Chain A
Amino acid sequence: MSTSLLLAQLLNGLQYGVLLFLLAAGLTLVFGIMSFVNLAHGSLYMLGAYAFAVVGTQTDSFLLGVLAALVTGLLVGYVLEKTVVARLYQRDHLDHVLATFGLVMFFNEMVRMLWGPQALFVSLPDALSGTVELFGFTYPSYRFLIIAVGLLVAVGSQWLIHRTRVGMLIRAGSVNPTMVGALGVNIRFLNAMLFTLGAALAALAGAMAGPILSVQSGMGESVLITTLVVIVIGGIGSVQGAFYAALIVGVADTLGRSYLPLLLRQIADREVANAAGPALASMLVYVLMAVVLVVRPQGLFPAHKDK
């Protein structure tokens, strides 16, 4: 096991983690503060990716694509909040599950009706398609952009939540929404804004993932589960927690995939290792989550201290 490979894998884990964070940030806010189980988060991610792909390829501009994704996220998020989500706050979590389950089906089909079943082509400007030599490996420069954007969102959300009045209201709302409402804050407007923000973040994640992943109907499902795992490990409602958990999950998953089969080969023969290795590697993230949940159910970095 060479050190340069290990370093390269660490970097890979980091950027996969940052990609997960972009998705997890929006979801954990909606989940934790509004206590709304939003399974349609993956669909918002998908819509963002589609907007980026369509506009980006038409205009040949990366920035316009990202902008289109953000606008789509904001619009769809706002409309969803006003029509569906707002009516469901008082309800059981299961009603949320049911409603967003239906939305996922609807969006998947809608996207297929509009753009067909094939994956969409996404173009990257030449400036971002290059590679960088790092640790003896060629590394796509675009991944660094993802890391940069992720860190920006992390810093930005930290600032928003801890340094602004809105952030204070958000934090207060996560502890006691009724009181916040009673104090004269327009809690409905706050919730709408929060949901829209979450949707925009999801769409941004979709736009950033567009160039490296397949943009097609149903692309949200495969990342949704991992995102849920991330926010549970990090602590629901905590963006900080989501950041650290995303990095942990990203690194653990990447290193697990790379080194578990190798480790297994030391103790068992090749056939068994080839069969068991990938299975164990895919289970690793779930085992990690199960351990965290049993040992510290509120997550590793919860939003507020439990009594």
Chain B
Amino acid sequence: MKHTHSTFCLAWAALLAANTAMADVKIGFSAPMSGPVAAVGQDQYDGFILGLERLNGKFGGQTVTVLKEDDQLKPELGNQIARKFIDRDKVDVLVGLGFSNVLMASLPRILESGTVAIATNAGPSTLAGAGCAANVFSIAWQNDGSAEAMGKYAQDAGFKKVFLLAPNYQAGKDNIAGFKRFYKGQVVDEIYTQVNQPDYSAEIAQVQAAGVDAVFVFYPGGMGVNFVKQFSQAGLMKKLPLLSAFTVDGTTLPSLRDAALGSVSGAMWDVALKAPGNADFVAAFSKKFGRTPSLYAAVAYDTAFLLDIAVKKVNGKTDNKPAFVAAVKAAGTELKSVRGPFKFGSNNMPVQNYYAFQAVKDGAAITVKQLSTPLAEHPDVYASLCKAK
């Protein structure tokens, strides 16, 4: 009895010693995992975990623990989760941070602590401009980017008159502004609809009455499904080119299917993109999770690889915050992203390509095909407002 007891203690001690010798990288991952945009959060988490798996569970040779939290799309909860990750769990990196409003509300504690935070789903203009911070990155996009690409696309395609629609909140206004930045034709009308509005028949009637060449919309999540379904049912999908940002994407296409055929969307990534490593990623994701990845998953997948490079740069010493921040920034340039060329701009926003994709039929399934690259290695317009080094 005594023998086994002492051997047990020895083994336990050895295990403890081994554990403390190996540094652990703690990741605090937060996203909306419930509610109307849960599909986005789920894709992000799955993409990140897939990336981690392909790196054998290690960033830069250090084992990784991922703590997951659901921000429920509530800014106040985002704030609390940031505190929990930083003060209680002492994470090395905060990943995810959810939608723009949740991200912004989480910032105070993040800025105070200097911990590296990588947003995988937003890039609000405040954060890109005057509110920028050295330790906060967006690896997704600056919010205006996709809309700007569609504006350029519309301009290049020669549409003389367009109609713009978006929900009446910050992101909606930013997207419309982004579109108008690159589109020089005539904007016949711009309508801001109520957030989570179910019925768009009134707006669709107005679009028909306006006699435009094209329509641009920004309707994320359920709003997008509603709008596109109704737009298509009104027979307009065949008559009027529908340009969109964050409306027809990997999370909404499965429920839209044929209704979205022919629509053009602007994004920094989609399934059909011919970029190194992309086909591999899509295949691996589809195999593991039984569904096609969306751009949200691609962003999270890239984040894992970015962190791998960054942790390698600091030799696992992630507690030196300024050094780690610099490493993450530099890692952006070395990242082999599945979306093509990528680097962080001076304001920690992505400088990347924005493509135009069209929803097409592939046998019985619906997929996308890459049309063009309206904006290549495109920085955002707020970088000059950022006074950080």
Contact = CB atoms under 8 A, between A and B. Distances in A.
Q: Do A and B truly interact?
A: yes
Interface of A: 2, 4-5, 8-9, 12-13, 15-16, 19, 108-109, 112, 116-122, 124, 129-131, 137-140, 142-143, 209, 211-219, 222-223, 254-255, 257-258, 261, 274, 277-279, 281-282
B168 A279 contact: yes
Contacts of B322: none
B168 A278 contact: yes
B254 A121 contact: yes
A299 to B, nearest CB: 24
Interface residues of B, number: 43
A118 B255 contact: yes
B222 A112 contact: no
A140 B222 contact: no
A222 B226 CA distance: 13
A-side binding surface: helix, strand, loop or mixed? helix
Given A19-B199, A214-B226, A217-B36, A12 B205 contact: yes
B192 A119 contact: no
A19 B198 CA distance: 11
Interface string B246-270: 0000011011110000000000000
Interface string B231-247: 00111100100000000
B235 A140 contact: yes
Given A117-B39, A278-B193, 5 more contacts: A120-B255, A129-B233, A131-B233, A143-B201, A219-B222
Contacts of A142: 233
Contacts of A4: 209
Contact of B202 (A140, A209, A216, A258): A258
Given A5-B205, A217-B35, A138 B194 contact: no
Given A19-B199, A261-B191, A140 B255 contact: no
A214 B233 contact: no
B190 interface: yes
B36 A218 contact: yes
B34 interface: yes
A16 B168 contact: no
Contact of A9 (B193, B202, B233): B202
Nearest to A279: B168
Interface in B178-211: 190-194, 196, 198-199, 201-203, 205-206, 208-209
A218 B35 contact: yes
Contacts, number: 133
A214 B221 CA distance: 9
Interface of B: 33-36, 38-39, 41-42, 168, 190-194, 196, 198-199, 201-203, 205-206, 208-209, 221-223, 225-226, 229-230, 233-236, 239, 251-252, 254-257, 291
Given A5-B209, A112-B34, A215 B255 contact: yes
A110 B311 CA distance: 39
Contacts of B206: 5, 258
Contacts of B252: 119
A209 B252 CA distance: 17
Contacts of B208: 8, 137-138
Nearest to B208: A137
Contacts of B34: 108-109, 112, 117, 217
Contacts of B256: 121
A254 B202 contact: yes
30 contacts: A8-B205, A8-B209, A12-B201, A12-B202, A15-B201, A16-B201, A109-B34, A117-B34, A117-B38, A117-B41, A118-B255, A118-B291, A121-B257, A122-B255, A138-B234, A138-B239, A140-B235, A214-B226, A214-B229, A214-B255, A216-B225, A218-B36, A222-B196, A222-B198, A223-B198, A257-B202, A258-B202, A258-B203, A278-B192, A278-B193
Given A16-B201, A117-B39, A258-B206, A212 B229 contact: yes
Contacts of A261: 191
Contact of A119 (B39, B42, B196, B234): B39
Contacts of A118: 39, 251, 254-255, 291
